[in-house]
């Protein structure tokens, strides 16, 4: 049996996926920290340990993500856009539009039946459209990122964010805290602001159903709910949304490997 791996070195987390015969074997996710090279190595090692394999057992590795160049053990680099399209296609072949909420940026990717990206748009450098905005606000409210989603669902009067900027958004959140606004209302307001950003991005490439949401942002049930509300569509969520691009990278590794799977 031949094994293939994909490693996605993201700005916030690094993910590794190992596949065998086109099926997901094991995966591992850990923070990228400030040393992407080290993170790539450690996450790959952890994934290999879970699978009981050594690096030499992998026939081919594809690296993706913002820090892909740091995974020097990979044979090839493919962009996260192509990898995400490929990964989603494996999980949900019927999906034609993917909303990927990453740490550094959000992306809308249009996917065809073959799992290739046909169009895409990336949120601009500003952090307001990305998962980073949620991190910033969670820090202001002194809550764990995992608690953001469930807590936000309790909101009764979501606050209205007047800014599209993460830096101003932070001071706006602090003002609401000072006014005594409940945390859940602040969080729901942030989700609404993000949903509006995503909806604007979608305008640019068009929405074709079915639609999936991936990336670390898709771990946040509150965000998913607000995006669905805003767009009026049902969103498909992979069981492990963070590893979608890494899975795509592993599948591409299998396709592109000079050694065909046994």
Residue 78 in the binding site for another protein (CB under 8 A)? yes
CB of 238 to another protein, least distance (A): 20
Kindly state the tokens that stand for 242. Answer: 């963070």
Among all chains, which residue has been given the structure tokens 């050594």?
A: 54
The one segment of 77-85, 155-163, 169-177, 192-200 that binds another protein by CB under 8 A: 77-85
The one segment of 113-121, 141-149, 207-215, 229-237 that binds another protein by CB under 8 A: 113-121
DSSP 66: T
In angstroms, the CA 83 to CA 52 distance is: 25
Residue 3 in the binding site for another protein (CB under 8 A)? no
Among all chains, which residue has been given the structure tokens 């800014």?
A: 163
- Residue 47: strand, helix, or coil: helix
CB of 206 to another protein, least distance (A): 11
The one segment of 53-61, 122-130, 141-149, 223-231 that binds another protein by CB under 8 A: 122-130
Contact indicator for 247, 1 with CB cutoff of 8 Å: no
Q: Spell out the residues 6+ positions from residue 254 whose beta carbon is closer than 8 angstroms to its own.
A: 2, 4, 19, 22, 60, 261
Out of 118, 163, 175, 229, name the contact with another protein by CB under 8 A.
118
Per-residue binding string, another protein, 79-98, x by CB under 8 A, is xxxx----------------
The nearer residue to another protein, 3 or 120, going by C-beta atoms, is: 120
Residue 32 in the binding site for another protein (CB under 8 A)? no
Contact indicator for 107, 123 with CB cutoff of 8 Å: yes
Contact indicator for 135, 169 with CB cutoff of 8 Å: no
Can you give the binding site for another protein, defined by CB under 8 A?
Answer: 66, 78-82, 104-105, 116-122, 124-125
């Amino acid at each position: 049996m031949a094994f293939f791996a994909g490693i996605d070195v993201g700005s916030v987390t690094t993910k590794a996926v190992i596949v065998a015969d086109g099926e997901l074997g094991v995966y591992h996710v850990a923070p990228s920290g400030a040393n992407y090279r080290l993170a790539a190595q450690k996450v790959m090692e952890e994934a290999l340990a879970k699978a009981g394999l050594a690096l030499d057992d992998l026939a081919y590795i594809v690296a993706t993500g913002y820090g892909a160049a740091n995974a020097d053990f990979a044979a090839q680099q493919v962009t996260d856009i192509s990898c995400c399209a490929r990964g989603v296609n494996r999980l949900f072949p019927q999906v034609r539009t993917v909303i990927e909420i990453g740490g550094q940026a959000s992306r809308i990717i249009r996917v065809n039946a073959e799992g290739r990206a046909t169009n895409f748009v990336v949120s601009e450098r500003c952090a307001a459209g990305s998962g980073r905005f949620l991190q910033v606000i969670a820090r202001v409210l002194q809550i764990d990122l995992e608690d953001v989603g469930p807590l936000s669902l309790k909101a009764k009067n979501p606050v209205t964010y007047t800014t599209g900027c993460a830096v101003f958004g932070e001071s706006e959140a602090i003002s609401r805290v000072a006014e005594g606004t409940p945390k859940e209302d602040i969080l729901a307001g942030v989700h609404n602001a993000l949903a509006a950003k995503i909806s604007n991005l979608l305008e640019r490439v068009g929405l074709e159903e079915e639609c999936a949401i991936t990336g670390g942002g898709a771990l946040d049930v509150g965000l998913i709910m607000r995006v669905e509300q805003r767009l009026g569509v049902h969103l498909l969520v992979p069981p492990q949304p963070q590893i979608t691009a890494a899975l795509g990278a592993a599948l591409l590794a299998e396709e592109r490997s000079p050694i065909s799977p046994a």
